[in-house]
Amino acid sequence: MNAARLPARRAVRLSAADIGRAATLALHDELALAPKPGLVSFVDSGSHSDMDAHTFMRSLFALRHYFVQICALGEAHAPFEALERCGIAAEARMLAATGGINTHRGAIFTLGLLCAAAGALLRDGAPLDPQALRQALRRHWGDALAARTRRVSALPGGMAARRHGLRSASEEAALAFPVLFETAVPALASALRRGLSAQRARIDALFATMATLDDSNLAHRGGMAGLRHAQQAARGYLAQGGAASDHGFAAARALHRDFVARRLSPGGAADTLAAACWMRRVCEDIRPPAP
């Protein structure tokens, strides 16, 4: 078809409610994806004995207002301390809903900050695109995020990151999420442009993220050997053609079994994939056109 005859893109102005709802839907996108190595899905509980997809659904339900609230705080250009209070309260609601199990701590942090950045862009009347989101994050809360990396984490992942000299979730945020913006989002967008289904595109984006991210969950559960094993497995998977290849699903299922046998779970990569799915839902240049 001649490009000039393609339907014109309609600019759709989103609200804080739309942006927050997209975060909940993106977490569902991630949960519903299968096969994904070691992670919980509707198929099974992967490497986890204390939680399943129902635990994640309860957590999602408990968090649905949080993402709208933190976006509204961003829209009000609230200080970092207000975002943090909102995140800590959301974490408490998540733990109450799951009986004390950590399902979405990383997502509360990462997606929460992104929703706040989107709110700041709404207020400025600026277009929502990945570059603008990154700049808004740096401009409004970059200094506070950098200062935050000097705190010593008492969480298992944070301690493992410190022990092995890895980039923790806090440090990834202070750098305005390089793996998300430079690896996960381009991998998802490129796979969709090549015509892959949403499922195959998300699998490729997850593996691209796993190959690159210093996932503190992998380091906490499997030490540096576990993290390096997962990164190499992800690189090998993509080098063999990824989800687009004839063996793409079978190879991803085989890696799922391998990760379960090793008790490995790339929770940080899962959160990063959810953040990329959220961007696909809200950003004008990578969002599917309105019908």
Ligand X SMILES: CC(C)(COP(=O)(O)OP(=O)(O)OC[C@H]1O[C@@H](n2cnc3c(N)ncnc32)[C@H](O[C@H]2O[C@H](COP(=O)(O)OP(=O)(O)OP(=O)(O)O)[C@@H](O)[C@H]2O)[C@@H]1O)[C@@H](O)C(=O)NCCC(=O)NCCS
Ligand Y SMILES: Nc1ncnc2[nH]cnc12
- Which residues lie near ligand Y (CB under 6 A)? 30-31, 39-40, 48, 265, 267, 270-271
Position 184, amino acid:
A
Distance in angstroms (rounded) separating the CA atoms of residues 201 and 197: 6
Per rule CB under 6 A, count of chain residues that contact ligand X: 38
Q: Which of 279, 175, 160, 146 is nearest to 224 (CA)?
A: 160
By beta-carbon proximity to ligand X, the closer residue of 142 and 158 is 158
Angle between helices 105-124 and 53-75 (to 10 degrees): 30
Q: Identify which range of 59-67, 210-218, 239-247, 281-289 contacts ligand X by CB under 6 A.
A: 210-218
Q: Name residue, tokens 């998977």.
A: 237
The verdict on 91 binding ligand X (CB under 6 A) reads yes
Cis peptide preceding 37, ω within 30 of 0: no
Closest separation in Å from C-beta 239 to ligand X: 23
At 104, which helix (H) or strand (E)? none
The verdict on 83 binding ligand X (CB under 6 A) reads yes
By beta-carbon proximity to ligand X, the closer residue of 251 and 265 is 265
Position 207, amino acid:
F
Site string for ligand X, 234-253 (x = CB under 6 A): --------------------
Cis peptide preceding 79, ω within 30 of 0: no
Q: Which pair of tokens denotes residue 139?
A: 């401009």
Binding test (CB under 6 A) with ligand X, winner from 38, 216, 230, 286: 216
Binding test (CB under 6 A) with ligand X, winner from 36, 58, 105, 281: 105
Q: Name residue, tokens 């695109």.
A: 129
Tell me which residues touch ligand X (CB under 6 A).
Answer: 48, 83-84, 87-88, 91, 102, 104-110, 112-113, 153, 155-158, 161, 167-170, 172, 213-217, 220-221, 265, 267-268, 271
